[in-house]
Amino acid sequence: MKRTMLGGKIHRAVVTEANVDYEGSVSIDESLLDDAGILPGEVVHVWDVTNAARLTTYAIAAPRGSGAVCVNGAAAHLVSAGDLVIIASFVELEDAEARTWKPRAVFVDSSNQAVEVRAEEAFRAH
């Protein structure tokens, strides 16, 4: 049996731009993608902490070290520059691997620079 598990997330990033005229996706600083284990072209979920909007799109790499998090295309109607977002990817794992899987979590500062990267240890409410 396969299970769908959180693969990696970028936690509470600040949206630097919302560009409705771009053809789609979310542009993310390549360093953050690497830290979270997200590949360019990979499906990601964007959860807007500011306004509760939730959307699914794909990641594209923005320049490394830029701190860019740009929501593009139609999604730019749901998310605005300055909003806080969580960006997450998911992986499909066999049951045995899923039971020991530890997704990557990237915590950023107000400039979207990673301040902590860690494997999530447990999925329990605090």
Residues classed as catalytic: 25, 58
Identity of the residue numbered 65: G
Q: How far apart are CA 120 and CA 102, in angstroms?
A: 5
Q: How far apart are CA 50 and CA 43, in angstroms?
A: 22
49 — alpha (psi -120 to 50), left (phi > 0) or beta? alpha
**Reduced 3-state DSSP string for 37-76:** CCCCCCEEEEEECCCCCEEEEEEEEECCCCCCEEEEHHHH
Q: How far apart are CA 37 and CA 119, in angstroms?
A: 11
